[in-house]
Amino acid sequence: MPRSSIPAITHVDYSARVQTVHEETNPKYYALIKDFKEKTGCPILVNTSFNVRGEPIVCTPEDAFRCFMGTGIEVLVVGNCFLVKEEQDPELAEDYKDKFELD
């Protein structure tokens, strides 16, 4: 039997670390979640660390772009910028697969 109807956010003890978003304090993110619910029926987005194993967590837009170009991420949204991998200069791609040593 599955842990929940949303197993990606449910811990083995059936708990979850849920955060709420209010339209008044974060209207863009609220709208994104609302649109996602309309399309999928699920009003939840998974928020996870943004980094490659062994690399520090992304802190700047430059870090985000570098990680985006070095991984299998297909789309990157930073602020009002929406970037599609296949539309980027392939010369900027970096293969992260063997760059960082695993724990």
pLDDT tens for each residue of 58-87: 999 999 999 999 888 999 999 889 999 999
Residue 12 has, within 13 A of its CA and on its CB side, a CA count of 0
Predicted confidence band of residue 89 (pLDDT cuts 50, 70, 90): very high
Residue 11 and residue 67: Cα distance in Å, rounded?
27
pLDDT at 102: 57
pLDDT at 26: 94
- 19-23, 52-56, 92-96, 98-102: least confidently modelled range: 98-102
The mean predicted confidence, pLDDT, of the chain is: 87
